[in-house]
């Protein structure tokens, strides 16, 4: 037997944000922004004895959890998603006093969370600086002819946190030779050749790379010659 929309509702007390205008089956109040289904019929919050509750939208996980803990009576608020054929949570109905207490608890540790975020941010900056320095050192080991300032610029670009570039890959984090060489080649391609200009003119990427391959090879070989001479 096919499941009806009503059968898809979560367990417990549930209030629904209706997709179409509804009136209360008991008091005829409407249109209603929230309804409680009893025996398949829509009822307003007042007739369902939930009229004293206030709506807390989803989004703040800590506040939602604490409001639910503080509230002796609460209900999940859902809305039906036709495309996904399921009800999705929109928030909670909780006692107003419980919400006030939950907000106070969140404010009490907000400063601690802010300080922890600041410490974490400072730690990440130090870690990123150390890694970029190590990446630059590896560039200079493999390509001693590369100017130090250029090596630092390549390392900083390749290892930027959240960039998705080669320096943030597992191989890049391990300072593998292949990842370092890839970062250098990419930097030379964009800075020392007409590659970007070719792309802007509509030249296909693989064709643009073919045209500038000799220039890239020349620059990279030149930077590595000091290693061969040593």
Residues (pLDDT < 70) of the chain are 1-11, 226-230
Helices of type H across the chain:
61-70, 96-108, 110-142, 148-158, 170-173, 177-191, 195-200, 205-229
CA–CA distance, 53 with 46 (Å, rounded to integer): 10
138 within 8 A of 166, measured Cβ to Cβ: no
Supply the pLDDT for residue 112.
Answer: 78
Alpha carbons 104 and 112: distance in angstroms, whole number: 14
Helix (H) or strand (E) holding 75: strand 75-81
User: Which residues are CB-neighbours of 215 under 8 A, at least 6 positions away?
Assistant: 188, 192, 193
Tokens 């007739």, located at residue: 47
Measured between alpha carbons, how far is 15 from 63 in angstroms, rounded to an integer?
19
Q: Please give the backbone phi and psi of residue 16, each rounded to the nearest 5 degrees, phi first.
A: -115, 135
Angle at 31 between CA 28 and CA 37, to 5 degrees: 70
Cα–Cα distances in angstroms (integers) from residue 214 to residues 106, 196, 209, in the given order: 60, 16, 9
Which pLDDT score is estimated for 2? 44
**Per the structure block, which two tokens stand in for 95?**
């006692």
**So what's the pLDDT on residue 1?**
39
Tally of CB atoms within 10 A around 191: 14
Q: Give the per-residue SS3 of 10-58.
A: CCCCEEECCCCCCCCCCCCCCCCCCEEEECCEEECCCCCCCCCEEEEEC
Q: What pTM was estimated for this model as a whole?
A: 0.53
Give 41-59 pLDDT, tens digit per residue: 999 999 999 999 999 999 9
pLDDT of 9: 64
């Amino acid at each position: 037997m096919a499941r009806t929309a009503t059968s898809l509702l979560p367990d417990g007390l549930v209030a629904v944000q209706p997709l179409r205008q509804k009136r209360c089956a008991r008091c005829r109040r409407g249109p209603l922004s929230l309804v409680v289904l009893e025996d398949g019929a829509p009822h307003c919050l007042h007739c369902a004895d939930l009229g004293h509750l206030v709506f807390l939208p989803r989004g703040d996980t800590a506040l939602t959890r604490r409001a639910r803990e503080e509230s002796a009576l609460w209900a999940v608020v859902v809305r039906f998603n036709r495309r996904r054929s399921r009800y999705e949570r929109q928030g909670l109905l909780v006692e107003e006093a419980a919400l006030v207490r939950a907000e106070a608890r969140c404010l009490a540790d907000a400063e601690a969370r802010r300080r922890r975020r600041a410490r974490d941010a400072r730690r990440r900056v130090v870690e990123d600086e150390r890694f970029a320095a190590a990446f630059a050192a590896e560039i200079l080991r493999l390509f001693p002819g590369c100017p130090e300032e250029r090596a630092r610029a390549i390392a900083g670009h390749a290892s930027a946190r959240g960039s998705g570039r080669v320096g943030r890959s597992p191989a890049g984090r391990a300072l593998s030779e292949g990842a370092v060489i890839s970062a250098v080649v990419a930097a030379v391609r964009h800075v020392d050749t007409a590659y970007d200009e070719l792309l802007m003119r509509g030249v296909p990427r693989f064709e643009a790379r073919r045209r500038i391959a000799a220039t890239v090879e020349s620059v990279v070989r030149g930077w590595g010659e000091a290693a061969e001479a040593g």
